[in-house]
Amino acid sequence: MPDAVAAKLVAATPAGWHTHVVEADTDSFGDGAQSPSEESLREIADAEVYLGFGMPKSLFVAAKQIRWVHTGTAGVASLLFPELVASDVILTNSLIYGPTIAEHVLAGVLQLLRGLDVAGALQRRGVWDAAPFATDETMLRELCECRVLVVGAGGIGAEVASRFAALGATVVGSRRRLGAGAPTGFSRLFPLSEIDAELPHADIVVLAAPLTPETRQVLTAARLALLPRGAIVCNVSRGALVEEPALIEALRSGHLRGAVLDVFAQEPLERESPLWALPQVVITPHISGVSTRKFWDRLSVLFLENWAGYREGRPMRNVVDRATGY
């Protein structure tokens, strides 16, 4: 946490409260550190409110007075261990990553649609050759001729849809609660149970749904085979949404044009993974939500608003439904 943000939180501490900012090193990527520091374990003992990136089970068990946990992550699957689920502790998450992740997805997809992966390989070899850009394998396309299927029409999915639609793509998406209506950018929503009928028409698939029992392995080998040749798969949710070996095979065989992957079945991605050697794969280390200037502003505003709501007994934003997992 930047010093300026820590100072802002301390300065906003109301009378009768004390804010302790942990100085020990930690991990703010993915689901956060899974081994708490000694300082965290010591300070959590009498804490009523916790703000961090995820919360290790051992830290929660040590938090005897905790009443509210706010995670700086969007996903909460790693937090839904039995002790927290069975408690009456309020759990809120940070649904503030939509704009950043949507731009990451758009950047990766455009790289593949315009063959910039091929251009990069030629540049590194010092080769001037236009021929590869006219092949079926590279398949240069415009967004206006693409149909984008977004799995998860929540905050991140909605931001993805608005950006692709603004550039001329047709966007459809799956959503658990269809009654909530379609966010801007979606031409149509459908229940996840109907995804098999949608995949054959999708040029681009974006996985933006939280990891739940329903979405785990939502892209199986059978479903990857339903995609048209030349499709692009993007995963900015959790690695477990994809059957990773099947994805690798679909890329190796040329069935898929490429993939934009920010999350993986195992993180860090092991050095032996075949994904590293596939030039048509854009790999990033779970950083699609990183926004150096904007993230901390958004997080501090959300947390301080919820802190006020917590103290005053008002409704809080982003309260996680333990039953659905988000």
Q: How confident is the model at residue 32 (pLDDT cuts 50, 70, 90)?
A: low
Q: How confident is the model at residue 31 (pLDDT cuts 50, 70, 90)?
A: low
Q: What is the pLDDT of residue 35?
A: 83
Whats the size of the chain, residue-wise? 326
Question: Nearest CA to 234 among 247, 217, 221, 216?
Answer: 247
Q: Indicate the range of 31-45, 83-97, 217-231, 250-264 predicted with least confidence.
A: 31-45
Q: How confident is the model at residue 28 (pLDDT cuts 50, 70, 90)?
A: low
Q: Indicate the range of 19-33, 89-103, 277-291 predicted with least confidence.
A: 19-33
Residues annotated as catalytic are 238, 267, 286
Q: Which residue has the tokens 């919820």?
A: 306
* Mean pLDDT score, 255-263: 98
* Mean pLDDT score, 111-125: 98
Q: What is the pLDDT of residue 33?
A: 61
Report CA-CA distances (Å) from 315 to 34, 80, 195, 291: 30, 22, 35, 28
Domain positions in the chain = 3-96+291-312, 98-283
* Mean pLDDT score, 295-316: 97
Q: Domain spanning 98-283: which CATH class is it, in words? A: alpha beta
Q: What is the pLDDT of residue 282?
A: 98
Q: What is the DSSP string of 294-319?
A: THHHHHHHHHHHHHHHHHHT---TTB
What percent of the chain is predicted at pLDDT more than 90? 91
Q: What is the pLDDT of residue 29?
A: 63
Q: Where are the alpha helices (DSSP H) in 126-265?
A: 155-166, 195-198, 221-226, 244-252
What percent of the chain is predicted at pLDDT more than 70? 98
Q: What is the pLDDT of residue 26?
A: 75
Q: Which residue has the tokens 């090193």?
A: 25
Residue 62 near residue 44 (C-beta atoms within 8 A)? yes
Q: Which two tokens stand for residue 211?
A: 């990891």
Model confidence at 30: pLDDT above 90:
no
The model's pLDDT over 185-219, given as tens digits with 9 standing for 90+, comes to 999 999 999 999 999 999 999 999 999 999 999 99
CA 256 to CA 129: how far, in whole Å? 23
* Mean pLDDT score, 135-147: 96
Mean pLDDT (the chain) is 95
Model confidence at 180: pLDDT above 80:
no
Q: How confident is the model at residue 1 (pLDDT cuts 50, 70, 90)?
A: confident
Residue 73 near residue 91 (C-beta atoms within 8 A)? no
Residue 215 DSSP SS3: coil
Whole-structure pTM value: 0.91
The answer to whether the 3-96+291-312 and 98-283 domains have the same CATH topology is yes
How is the beta sheet containing 49-52 ordered, strand by strand? Answer: 49-52, 68-71, 90-92
* Mean pLDDT score, 102-129: 98
Residues ≥6 apart with Cβ < 8 Å to 136: 230
User: For 3-96+291-312, which CATH superfamily applies?
Assistant: NAD(P)-binding Rossmann-like Domain (3.40.50.720)
